[in-house]
Chains A and B, each alone.
Chain A
Amino acid sequence: MTKQFVTTTVNGDTAEFICEPGESLLDALRGRLQLTGSKEGCGSGDCGACTILLDGEMVCSCLVFAAEAEGRVIETVEGMADGSVLHPVQRKFLEHAALQCGFCTPGFLVATKALLDHNPDPSEHEIRYWLAGNLCRCTGYDKIVRAVQDTAREMRNERKTA
């Protein structure tokens, strides 16, 4: 099969890679672009560790073909911080100890960012259902939910004062 040449935008920069037709976007990000922040926990869209934003929409990158990235805009965990300044959700995850092993964390961070982009004031119920596609086996989710609530609170306050 002919390999595909893909031009895309990743975290604001143009990125180009050659991939197999059947290759997942996750494999291309990790293998071709060395962006190993997105993780593979299942390869079947069940664990959410590979969550990225594709044209602003939250997707499991293991379920997207790499070739589909042509001309699209991709955001991964590596692009969340503004230089060395962490995104509020990254900072709050640390402050609340919302990670233990940290393997699921990139997926949770991207999913949380997507949630708060859509809904700046989610209820606990909304947070829990939005994040239900991201598996964490270490924390029992308690500290994750609290970190998300606290992030939302801070970002709302910042908007008010801005």
Chain B
Amino acid sequence: MNAPEAKSGFRHVGTRPVRPDGIDKVTGKAIYSPDFVAPGMLQGAILRSPHPHARIRSIDTSKAEALPGVKAIVTADDFPTLKSLMVTMGESAGNIIHVSRKCMAQGKVLYDGHAVAAVAATSAVIAAEALKLIEVDYEVLPHVIDIDEAMQPDAPLLHEDMVTEGVQPRPDKPSNIPTYVSKTKGDVAEALGRAAAVVEGRYSMPMVHQGYIEPHACVASWNADGQANIWCSTQGAFVVRMLTASVLGISQADIRVTPLEIGGGFGGKTTVYLEPVAMLLSRKSGRPVRLAMTREEVFRASGPAPGVQIDFKIGATADGYLLGADLSMKYNVGAFPGNGVQVGLITALYHYRFESFAMHGWNVVTNMPGIHAYRAPCAPQVNFAVESAIDELAYKLGIDPIELRLKNAVVPGDPGFTGGTLGEIGFVECLEAAKAHPHYSAPLGPNQGRGVAASYWINAGGPSVAAVSLAEDGSVLVTTGSPDIGGSRASMAIMAAETLCIPYEKVRVTIADTSAIGFSMVTGGSRTTYATGKAVIEAAETIISIMKARAAGMWGVDVADVAWGDGEAICLDPAKDNQRLPIGKIAARMNNTGGPISAEASVNPHDYLPAFGVHICDSEVDPETGQTTIVRYTAIQDVGRAIHADYCEGQIQGGAVQGIGWALNEAFIHDKAGRLDNPGFLDYRVPVCSDLPMIDTVMVEKPNPAHPFGVKGVGEVPIVPPLATVANAVSRAAGVRIRDLPLSPDRVYSAIKSKG
């Protein structure tokens, strides 16, 4: 609660009202996906591979089928054969064959936990019993987990038909490298040759997981006439509809997806793992079927974030101007080709004005679950390398790390990520705010070190639909197709109330199912308040136009003589003596003035702006144990303009803490047999309350001129800087540079010991 309250010119924007879905969520009434019950519902369960890589010779389900209470069993044979087809998921594309194979292994299992069969039974106990009776004959194959090993010519091949895209000439042999990308500018070797200081290093980190507390779950009910209902927790009901229909080869209009309350997603709930399987079980059994993952299944068989190995070399002039960067990135994308290094390429270096750079990147498939989006997907990994090296460079040159960043920071008008130029970005403002923050000049205690890092995220726009309608008493209904994952109902209500100039409590927001409103892209990419917000504002503006026309009709004046303000129509015709018609009176008479007042807006905006963040961290390292404590943390971010100040801060704090966990503790650990060794919260250690101090936030507000209230995306960029921020702080505290994450006590301790 440390940001400015409602700003001049606004009545609601920037305030902190209680969220409209709040009481349901503090009283246990809200229905999340594992809470939903359909009449006659069966309980499903999934049999998962114990092997990271194996050919499925045969599956015998006869004994399981004979178990009383078992109503349906599904294997890969029940899935339609699909042609390779790229489909839009979230904001990126994926091959529908891979989506299908993540739901059910086809021919081969590619990771420990890969689904091989599913059962629906009258109880969870019987379903679990039935899984034990399914006999799978595996031909176990050699597996590969490590990036370097997977790139070897003699490595076990995951996909016999996969050749590297982006290499000339096209390779004639398959490999585990689906993608090569590169981008160069100028002559890096020459530029680095002129540098007064050069920093070079290899950086690495393992796969990590989004760690949403609610495991994936859904209920599906598929009727004999082909029509189906799916109730699930998702960041995008429309993407569930499209992917399920595509995997099953059925019409999208036949599937109605109702998004239930969602218990966290962070990008991980923008695809399907269970829904097509539950659909098939439902069709076979003729009953609704629930499938719900356990925590172990979430870790073993959903979509983590890639691990990386990055080589980076950077040089600058004596006065701190960046000359060249040589970047080579390998992203471990798990079992299927994914969007890894492609994003690394555009989120690595574009926040600074490099005279020259050379970037090369490879995606590498391994016998781990296929990656999926995790908050600013793929940016934190490369940012860790870049911002660690920048820090070292500043240290080497004896320049303050923020000062060095200021000398090189991009400003509006500099080249953008897709050609063209950058708009009203607030990077310099964030750096200046960090420099001026009392945290940056506060004294440090013994064994403490301070780190800073800076980063950006491109953000996103994209299609959204919103409907606004008036109730007969003048209260207002807003309907969107954007699931509320962190308070967006409140933001939508604020924007509608602001536009209509009415009290916040007079607006109620509903998240509709896919059959009740037109298409919206996922809640993700930091797009919802910006893009769906634009749709809400546009629909509310249409409502105002309609109400002005209705008021004009009631007064018998020209519509040009009607203005809108303070929640009422104002008659400008002097003959009418400045009469006013409040929204309630217009609504009460709407069926005498032309019928219901309702408007829908369908938008596809792309005038979003990238977000920039600068974080400061003080860490204390215990030289006896290598244990790191975060003693102070400040996150500074250009938010454009905060709509709901609390939920903006909450995004920044939550992102920062996920990043702190990534830096200090979190890692997928596989044993020699290629099995995930830590598929639970005891051993996959996300930050807990006692690990942390308060997370101070500073919201820099440089409005986006293309949004009526100035919104820029907020949710993702805060996870990007913490990795390097914490690593820089730890390196200062420990007196030794550590380039591998996580900064676990054993790693930090060894580094301290090895420096002697």
Contacts and interface: CB of A to CB of B under 8 A. Distances in A.
Given A36-B35, A142-B694, A94 B653 contact: no
B681 A140 contact: no
Contacts of A106: 26, 28
Contacts of A39: 32, 34, 213-214, 263
Nearest to B262: A101
Interface stretch (A63-71, A72-80, A154-162): A72-80
B213 A140 contact: no
A131 B486 CA distance: 21
B557 to A, nearest CB: 44
A135 B28 contact: no
Given A94-B22, A141-B689, A100 B295 contact: no
B30 A139 contact: no
Main secondary structure of the interface of B (DSSP, over half): loop
Interface string A83-117: 00010001101111101111111100100000000
Interface string B637-661: 0000000101101110111111000
B474 interface: no
A46 B295 CA distance: 10
A53 interface: no
A54 interface: no
Nearest to B210: A137
Contacts of A131: 688-690
Interface residues of B, number: 60
Given A39-B32, A132-B690, A135-B213, A143 B653 contact: yes
A36 B31 contact: yes
Contact of B263 (A90, A102, A128): A102
Given A38-B28, A41-B213, A140-B692, A101 B485 contact: yes
Given A139-B654, A141-B692, A47 B28 contact: no
Interface string A19-49: 0100000000010001111111111101101
A15 interface: no
B294 A47 contact: no
A50 to B, nearest CB: 11
Contacts of A90: 26-27
Contacts of B487: 97, 100
B695 interface: yes
Contact of B28 (A43, A77, A100, A129): A77
A8 interface: no
Given A138-B264, A140-B657, A100 B214 contact: no
Given A46-B681, A137-B654, A137-B686, A101 B26 contact: no
A137 to B, nearest CB: 5
Contacts of A141: 653, 657, 687, 689, 692
A94 B18 contact: yes
A155 B25 CA distance: 22
B7 interface: no
A36 to B, nearest CB: 4
A10 interface: no
Contact of A86 (B27, B215, B647, B680): B27
A101 B264 contact: yes
B29 interface: yes
A89 to B, nearest CB: 8
A78 B27 contact: yes
A103 B695 contact: no
A95 B681 contact: no
A76 B653 contact: no
A152 interface: no
Contact of A102 (B18, B25, B647, B686): B25
Given A144-B689, A145-B694, A41 B214 contact: yes
B695 A102 contact: no
A136 interface: yes
A61 interface: no
- The interface centre, meaning the residue of B28, B294, B658 with most chain A CB atoms within 10 A of its CB, is B28
B267 interface: no
B689 A47 contact: no
B613 interface: no
A79 B628 CA distance: 40
B28 A36 contact: yes
Given A36-B28, A43-B295, A100-B487, A142 B695 contact: yes
A129 B690 CA distance: 5
Given A39-B263, A44-B681, A128 B689 contact: yes
A44 B487 CA distance: 29
B689 A100 contact: no
Contact of A42 (B485, B644, B656, B680): B680
Nearest to B647: A97
Given A129-B690, A145-B689, A138 B27 contact: no
Contact of A137 (B23, B32, B212, B646): B212
A137 B694 contact: no
Given A20-B125, A49-B213, A106-B28, A135 B681 contact: yes
B486 A138 contact: yes
Contacts of B294: 43
Contacts of B26: 77, 86, 90-91, 93-94, 99, 102, 105-106, 109
Nearest to B635: A140
A145 B21 CA distance: 21
A78 to B, nearest CB: 5
Contacts of B692: 128, 140-142
A95 B680 contact: no
B653 A44 contact: no
Contact of B681 (A36, A47, A81, A99): A47
Contacts of B575: none
Contacts of B27: 37, 77-78, 80-81, 86, 90
B262 to A, nearest CB: 6
A37 to B, nearest CB: 2
Contacts of B651: 100
A52 to B, nearest CB: 11
A136 B280 CA distance: 34
A95 B16 CA distance: 8
A37 B686 CA distance: 23
A35 B211 CA distance: 25
Nearest to A126: B690
Contacts of B19: 94, 97
Contact of A138 (B28, B34, B646, B654): B654
Contacts of B688: 131-135
B23 A86 contact: yes
B261 interface: yes
Interface string B686-706: 111111101100000000000
Contact of B653 (A91, A133, A142): A142
A137 B211 contact: yes
A75 to B, nearest CB: 12
Given A38-B28, A102-B30, A132 B689 contact: yes
B295 A134 contact: no
A129 B691 CA distance: 9
B415 to A, nearest CB: 34
Interface string B422-464: 0000000000000000000000000000000000000000000
11 contacts: A30-B34, A36-B32, A44-B680, A47-B295, A97-B649, A105-B25, A105-B26, A106-B26, A137-B211, A141-B657, A141-B687
User: What are the nearest 5 A-B pairs in CB distance?
Assistant: A37-B28, A103-B263, A140-B657, A97-B646, A102-B25
Given A37-B28, A41-B213, A90-B27, 17 more contacts: A30-B34, A41-B295, A46-B682, A47-B295, A80-B27, A99-B22, A102-B263, A103-B213, A104-B263, A106-B26, A132-B689, A135-B213, A141-B687, A141-B689, A143-B646, A143-B649, A143-B650
Interface of B: 1, 16, 18-19, 21-23, 25-32, 34-35, 37, 125, 210-215, 261-266, 294-295, 485-487, 644, 646-647, 649-651, 653-658, 680-682, 686-692, 694-695
Interface of A: 20, 30, 34-44, 46-47, 49, 76-78, 80-81, 86, 90-91, 93-97, 99-106, 109, 127-129, 131-146
